[in-house]
Amino acid sequence: MSDTQALIKKFRVKPGERVKLRDEDAGQESIFPDKDIAKAATDVFAKDINKLQDRLYAENKRALLVVLQGTDTAGKDGTITSVFRETSPLGVSVTAFRQPSEEELAHDFLWRVHKALPRRGMIGILNRSHYEDVLVVKVHHLVPKDVIEQRYEQINAFEKMLTENGTVILKFMLHISKGEQKQRLQDRVDDPNKRWKFNPGDLKDREHWDEFQDAYETMLHRCSTPWAPWHVIPADKKWVRDAIVGSIVKETLEEMNPSYPEVSWKKSDFKIS
Ligand code: ADP
C-alpha cells in the first residue's frame, strides 16, 4: 500500500461507519509534522493534478466532482486555492452554494446542484453543496423532519446515477475544532483585511455547534457510499489539510488513469510546410 493509499484508508468513511467528530483530532500534525515539507508536497500534487486534468480533458469521457463541506471558517476556499492553483482555468469549475433563491426553492433540492456539475473532461468543485439540505436546513428546521429523512437516500441515488454516467465523486468534510473556529472568527474581526469575510450570522450558527456536529455525523454515516465516499479531513492546520486533500485528489485521478485519445493518422501522413 502506498503512502497515499494509507492516507485514503485513514480518512475515508467506510459505508455505514459512525464517525464521532468529537473524538477526531482536527490537528493531526503528526502526519505532516514539517510545515514546509507539507507545503512543498501540496505544490507537487497541484502540478500533477494539472497534468492529469489535461489528460482527462483530452479523453473527454469522464469528469471528477469534488464536494467540499465544513463549518464556517473551515477553509473551503483556502483548500480550493491551494490544491487547484496549478489547474488550468479551462479545466476546472467552482460553484459556491448560498441560501437558495426563490427559483431554486421552487424546484427539488438537487436541481441547482445538477446544473452545476462538471461536463466530461472537467473537474467540478462544489463549495458547499446539496449536503446543506441535510445540514443547515436540518439544524434550523427549515423543512419537516420526514423530508430530511428521505433526502439521504435521494442523495445516494442521485450520486450513484452520476457515477454510472462517468462522474467520479470525492467528498471532503473539513473538520475543525470549536477552539480553532473561535480563533479564525476573531481574526476576521481583528484583521482589517479579513473583516469583509466576517458575517455576524456565523455567530448564530456557532451557537448551534453541537447540532451541526450531529448533523454532520448523520450525513457521514448515511451518505458515505462505495461510489461516493466521504473523507473527514483534519483542518485545524491548513498545511495538513491541503496536503491530505491534494494527495487524495491526485491519487484518484491517477487511478482513473485518463488517456490521450489515439488518432487515426500517422505522423508521416503530414508534412507541414
Ligand atoms: P461561505 O460561508 O460559504 O463563504 P456565505 O457566507 O455566503 O458563504 O454563506 C453561505 C450560507 O448559505 C451559509 O450559511 C449556508 O449555510 C447557507 N446555505 C447554503 N445552502 C443552503 C440551503 N440549501 N438552505 C439554506 N441555507 C443554505
Q: Give, using CA atoms, the residue closest to atom 11 of ligand 1.
A: 98
Which atom of ligand 1 is least distant from the CA of 202? 14
Is there a domain that residue 264 lies in? Answer: no
Q: What is the pLDDT of residue 2?
A: 83
Mean pLDDT computed over every residue of the chain:
96
- Whether residue 222 is contained in a domain is answered as yes
Q: How far is the CA of 264 from the centre of ligand 1 (A)?
A: 49
| The pLDDT of residue 232 | 97
- 67 alpha carbon – ligand 1 mean position (Å): 14
Residue 271 falls inside a structural domain: no
How far is Cα 8 from Cα 230, in angstroms, rounded to an integer? 10
Classify the phi-psi angles of 243: left when phi > 0, otherwise alpha if psi is within -120 to 50, otherwise beta: alpha
| Bridge partner list, 94 | 125
Our measurement of the distance from residue 82's CA atom to the centroid of its chain's CA atoms, rounded to an integer in Å, reads 13
Give a yes or no: residue 32 inside a domain: yes
Structural domain contains residue 37: yes
pTM of the model: 0.96
Residues in the ligand 1 pocket, defined by CB under 6 Å: 72, 96-100, 128, 132-133, 136-137, 199
Q: How far is the CA of 35 from the centre of ligand 1 (A)?
A: 31
Residue 89, pLDDT score? 97
Q: Give the residue among 28, 71, 81 at the shortest CA–CA distance from 175.
A: 71
* Interval 171-219: pLDDT, tens: 999 999 999 999 999 999 999 999 999 999 999 999 999 999 999 999 9
Residue 88: inside a domain, yes or no?
yes
Per the structure, the count of domains in the chain is 1
Please classify residue 235 by burial: count the beta carbons closer than 10 Å to its beta carbon, then call 0-12 exposed, 13-18 middle and 19+ buried: buried
**Low-confidence stretches of the chain (pLDDT beneath 70):** none
Print the domain residue range for 23. 3-258
- Relative to beta strand 230-234, strand 92-96 is unpaired
Looking at residue 5, its pLDDT comes to: 86
Distance of CA 272 from the midpoint of ligand 1 (Å) = 54
Q: Per the domain annotation, does 268 fall within a domain?
A: no
Is 270 within the bounds of a domain? no
Q: DSSP state, 86? A: T
* Best CA proximity match to 93, nearest among 84, 103, 101: 84
- Tell me the CATH number at 48: 3.40.50.300
Q: Which of 72, 113, 132 is the best mutation target for the ligand 1 pocket, counting ligand atoms within 8 Å of the beta carbon and taking the most?
A: 132
CB neighbourhood size of 159 (10 A): 21
